Amino acid sequence: MSLVSVNPATDAVIKEYQEMTAREVADAVDQAHASFSSWRKTGFEERATLMHSAARILRERTNEYAVLMAEEMGKPISQGRAETEKCAWVCDYYAEQAESFLESEIIETDAHKSFVAFRPLGVVLAVMPWNFPLWQVLRFAAPALMAGNVGVLKHASNVQGCALAIEDVFRQAGFPENVFRTLLIGSKQVDAVIEHPHVRAVTLTGSTPAGQAVAKKAGQVLKKTVLELGGSDPYVVLADADIEAAAKTCVTSRLINSGQSCINAKRFVVVASQRERFEQLFVEQRQAAKVGDPLQEETEVGPQARADLRDELHEQVERSLAKGARCLLGGSIPEGPGAFYPPTVLTDVKKGMPAFDEELFGPVAAIIVVPDDDDAIQVANDSNFGLGAAVFTADLERGERIATEELEAGCCFVNAFVKSDPRLPFGGIKQSGYGRELSHYGIREFVNIKTVYVGK
């Protein structure tokens, strides 16, 4: 079988990749495991030198990778450059911080000496999505490799060029052969990789159904998992919010990556007194967003990554309209080639509609109007997802309290859009997954937290 990469802006086939056989996959995992025996013994200084080198390569070839992402999954090129720079940042961050994050912790007991050590597990399988084809991988790989683990990557089928480019970054940086391997496989081979005796843990970023499938298989063979899954992030606009600033931030968040992000703003819960002005500003700013060729600098919204995903999004919009939502902007598939979908704004969205209950993975905004601030928090939390959330208010102390105590999500922001940062833990609750990536919490997910007790 072959894995086909198609340009979603033109529908042209870019390249076909031959899928690896089961034997080739098993051999690759075995080779990664063999490299672990020596890699785990390297010092942090040596690992850091190589990781800084990876960051340098990413920066030197930023435009090349941005073009690759634009061609394979439609990311606007300016956003592709920003993504590549963020990947370099996470490499530098863990090169500088890993040793302190994994320093042994002395625990006072009745022993002569007792402490907690953090030691690598071995081969970690990463199952990654297409929407941030470099960042999703590097935010796993940088901490995992700095901790002394080795990685094997199963990337989304439509971004195999990106997958191989990441492997090449580590190779060019001087990492030992097989410390990081890309597996050219489809989803049907994932179970066999999880079952491989040398695979010790699995991390997945993707849809909730994909996470459930991986968690089930990993659970059967008792292997640790970290899952970062879907989201339907609520942005709560309270009665005292600066409506101009809130609308601008909300529009920016919804259009990042052409609306294809787990932590895009998706449900806009607006208090009735703010509704008219918010909808006006929101529609005006969404109309102004430049849709077009992702290789053009001025493009803000490119195509959806695949035509089938665009069609699924449109079907969710139509079902929401059939249930009583109103369309203020967009809502129709444009003529011509490519998987384009226009910035779309739905209002009068209510529970029971796909725009409320499901994740809409594209540039579709759902406005939900509520009577007052208390209702806004209740509606925001009325979701099976819990990845990110934001609240907009003039009272920062109140906003902090709402974010800390009331919003049900793993990442809660005040007067700002939700984003990931290497210095802060990232992950969700409920159907958005479990475990954390980034910060010191992320690097400790895939280590043996080992108790060492030295008797007298």
Domain ranges of the chain: 2-229+430-454, 233-414
What separation in angstroms does the CA of 56 have from each of 145, 291, 304? 17, 32, 30
Candidates 116, 99, 140; CA nearest to 225 is 140
Between strands 2-6 and 13-18, the pairing is antiparallel
- 233-414 maps to which CATH number? 3.40.309.10
244 counts as catalytic: no
For 310-337, letters b (16+ CB in 10 Å) and e give beebbebbeebbeeebebbbbbebeeee
pLDDT average per 10 residues of sequence, the chain (456 residues): 94 97 98 98 98 98 98 98 98 98 98 98 98 98 98 98 98 98 98 98 97 98 97 97 98 97 96 98 97 98 98 98 98 97 98 98 98 98 98 98 98 98 98 98 98 96
Q: Which two tokens stand for residue 142?
A: 């940088």
Q: Are 419 and 390 a contacting pair, CB within 8 Å?
A: no
The CATH fold of domain 2-229+430-454: Aldehyde Dehydrogenase; Chain A, domain 1 (3.40.605)
Q: What span, in angstroms and rounded, lies between the C-alpha atoms of 181 and 163?
A: 9
Between strands 224-228 and 433-434, the pairing is antiparallel
Supply the pTM of this predicted model: 0.97
Q: Which two tokens stand for residue 378?
A: 């209740």
pLDDT for res 1: 75
Q: Are 361 and 282 a contacting pair, CB within 8 Å?
A: no
Catalytic residue among 71, 72, 167, 228: 228
- Write the CB contacts of 276 (distance below 8 Å, at least 6 apart in sequence): none
Catalytic residue among 91, 162, 262, 411: 262
Number of H helices, E strands in the chain: 15, 18
Residues 387-420 have pLDDT tens digits of 999 999 999 999 999 999 999 999 999 999 999 9
- Name the one residue in this structure whose structure tokens are 């394979």: 72
Residues 123-152 have pLDDT tens digits of 999 999 999 999 999 999 999 999 999 999
pLDDT for res 134: 98
Could you give the 3-state DSSP secondary structure of residue 184?
Answer: coil
- Exposure of 66 in the CB half-sphere (CA atoms within 13 A): 20
Q: Any alpha helices (H) in 61-156, and if so which ranges?
A: 62-73, 77-101, 135-146
pLDDT for res 450: 98
Q: What span, in angstroms and rounded, lies between the C-alpha atoms of 155 and 370?
A: 41
Spacing of C-alpha 107 from chain mean position? 36
Q: What span, in angstroms and rounded, lies between the C-alpha atoms of 94 and 72?
A: 28
Biggest alpha carbon–alpha carbon distance for the chain = 78
For 169-183, letters b (16+ CB in 10 Å) and e give bbbebebeebbbbbb
228 counts as catalytic: yes
Q: What span, in angstroms and rounded, lies between the C-alpha atoms of 8 and 342?
A: 14
pLDDT for res 26: 98
